[in-house]
Amino acid sequence: MSARSLPRTDGAAPSRRSRDRTARFWLHAGLVPLALLFLAPLWLMLVFSTQPESAIFSPAPPVWFGGAFLENFRGLQADTNFLRALWNSVVISTLYTLLSMVFTSLAGFAFSKYSFPGRGLLFGLILATLTIPSFVTIIPQFILVARDLHLSNTYWAVLLPTLANTIGIFYMRQAFAAVPDDLLNAARIDGAGDLRLYAQIALPIVRPALAALAILLFLGSWNDYLWPLIVLTQKDSYTMPVALGTLVGLTRVSWGGIMVGTVMATVPFLALFLALQRQFVAGIAGGAVKD
Amino acid sequence: MTSLPARTARRPRVPVAPYLFILPYLLIFASFWAWPIVSSFLMSFRDSRLGPSAPLGLSNWSRLLSDESFRTALQNTLVILAIQVPLMLTLATALAVALNSRLLRAQGLFRFAFFAPLVVGTVAYSAVFRLLFNTDYGMVNRALTGLGLPAVDWLNQPVPAMTVIILAMTWRWTGYNAIILLAGLQGIREDVYEAASLDGATPAQQFWRITLPLLRPSLLFCLVLSVIGTLQLFTESSLITGSGPGNATLTLGTYLYQQGFQSFNFGYSSAIAYAVAALAAVFSAVQLRLFGRDG
């Protein structure tokens, strides 16, 4: 929570307190309807996942839960092998998150804590590609992965091109800047090697930033659609968004099933986010998003 | 906040460790990013449909200029960009300031409401929005008719279809930007406001003279990422409206996908990709000029 939410001492003039009260009223009068509007699609997604098709399309639409979740799930599973798609997503997103964290934190540490020939040039090059849309690389990536490496429909096809996570490098470089140089020098004098400085001294200090990055990386991979859609062509290799996408695109749409799929893809993260949001904002604040 | 200068581990000789640390990232970066950027450019001068990639000269590029669908996609993308990005960033700024206010009760609850869409994937929310804006059964039309207003044929008419895409994107991405801006706000020191307050600055003056200027780096970051994201819009156009009715919500992203991965015309698709990149470069340069370093 920000320092601003600390209670003020009551020495302020009465006019200021009444002004605060008016401001507080209008603040909430504006935010409450907007918040409800933001929550409504999520609420309806939850409700619809538990309602039979007939209820979703009835003249009096449901706004409370029904009992058709399992029935909807069975439809979804029959249409898409959704459990298999979920499993593929779990494996890919976990591998992606772990590998990206290792790659970007190693590189971020090097860029932040070492001075070496080519550092500016390399970092500049990486920085420059951040503003290049990923569309530019998607066709050569596809040719490389599908035609040259014959990786279509494998986990590696999804993973390989996405592992070069540029934002992660910035983020980790910024996070490591907060590690005191004296600490590293002291450890070096005590005989710690470079790998130990990284793994045992610096990494534990940036753990909050690393945790925030991990959530962002996992979510990004979990929700990625276009690239998996391109390299996964067999039903059993689909990730969860690709499996869902095949249903949404159809003319005859099974909405109850789709809503079950969206709930299963979303609710675990909503819960995680609810539990972690304070640390999450703090983690972002400590990270790359400063000039 | 700039990073600390890297003076820690300076040694008399050239160190090996940093190069080894960067190597895994660099290998992926070189083979799956740097080289494809070049390769894609070369490919835009070839025709992948004629045998094993025949040279074609500039015809992919000249085709762009006369292609009706490309022009529609470009126009649609720019319209969405011009309306959605300012709308979203204004809303996100207002939200961040409100969520950071000491007057706000139940901060956690409000934060949850606005940040929750952040975790919903684009495919999932596209599905939800497609259902909510269904002409016959959608909740939105039911709410409208309930209020005595006429129902709208949201997904089958050009302007309403575009409106749905803009509303959906605003719902999904406002919280993401608000979180970045909120982090930026929390980096502004409280005593700046106290000093201004003592000097008699009104809340409005404090917002325009203190908050906004100090928030500029975060806003610029949001702006650049939003513009590049919107230029590559794909999922919403593809899944909410099917880029229809007709080509009314066709975007550069969906058109590139159609040309590249449905027609397998890699050369032309690469030319479209580079057109997107050129646009992104122009926008980034303009943004940095207008909102960047000076002042």
Q: What are chain A's domains? A: 16-70 (no CATH), 72-287 (1.10.3720.10)
Residue B33: pLDDT over 60: yes
Q: Which candidate, A289, A104, A92, places its Cα nearest to that of A210?
A: A104
- Element of type H or E holding A285: helix A255-285
pLDDT tens sequence across A193-238: 999 999 999 999 998 888 888 888 998 999 999 999 999 999 999 9
pLDDT tens sequence across B221-233: 899 889 999 999 9
Residue B191: pLDDT over 90: no
Q: Which of A2, A39, A125 sits opposite B116 (nearest CB)?
A: A39
C-alpha span between B30 and B2 (Å, rounded): 27
Q: Is B46 helix (H, G, I), strand (E, B) or coil?
A: strand
Q: What is the largest CA-CA distance in chain B?
A: 79
Question: Contact, A105 vs A210, CB < 8 A?
Answer: yes
B102/A56 CB distance under 8 A: no
Query: How many pairs of residues across A and B have Cβ atoms under 8 Å apart?
Result: 318
Q: Is B207 left (phi over 0), alpha (psi -120 to 50) or beta?
A: alpha
Residue B48: pLDDT over 50: yes
pLDDT tens sequence across B114-169: 988 988 989 999 999 998 998 888 889 988 988 999 989 999 999 999 999 999 99
β-strand pairing of B46-47 with B54-55:
antiparallel
Using the Cβ of A241 and the Cβ atoms of chain B, whether some distance falls under 8 Å is answered with: yes
B112/A280 CB distance under 8 A: no
| Residues of chain B contacting A272 with CB distance shorter than 8 Å | 119
How many C-beta atoms lie closer than 10 Å to residue A154's C-beta?
15
Rounded to the nearest 5°, which phi and psi values hold at A52? -70, 155
B273/A139 CB distance under 8 A: yes
Q: How many CA atoms lie within 13 A of B253 on its CB side?
A: 24
Q: Which of A110, A115, A266 sits opposite B119 (nearest CB)?
A: A266
Chain A's closest residue to B95, CA to CA, is A31
C-alpha span between B212 and B232 (Å, rounded): 28
Which pLDDT score is estimated for B24? 92
C-alpha span between B48 and A139 (Å, rounded): 11
Residue type present at position A1: M
Q: How many CA atoms lie within 13 A of B112 on its CB side?
A: 14
Please tell me the distance in Å from A128's CA to the nearest CA on chain B: 10
B 145-184 → A contacts, CB under 8 A? 171, 175, 179-180, 182-184
C-alpha span between A140 and A136 (Å, rounded): 8
ipTM of the complex: 0.84
Chain B's closest residue to A57, CA to CA, is B137
- DSSP label of B74: H
Chain A's closest residue to B269, CA to CA, is A139
Chain A's closest residue to B221, CA to CA, is A289
Which pLDDT score is estimated for A263? 93
C-alpha span between A113 and B13 (Å, rounded): 16
Q: Which candidate, B3, B155, B122, B52, places its Cα nearest to that of A120?
A: B3
Which pLDDT score is estimated for A286? 53
Q: Which of B121, B261, B280 sits opposite A131 (nearest CB)?
A: B280
- DSSP label of A198: I
Q: Is the peptide bond before B245 cis (omega within 30 degrees of 0)?
A: yes
Return the beta strands (E) in chain B as ranges: 46-47, 54-55
Which pLDDT score is estimated for A276? 77
pLDDT category at A42 given cuts 50, 70, 90 is very high
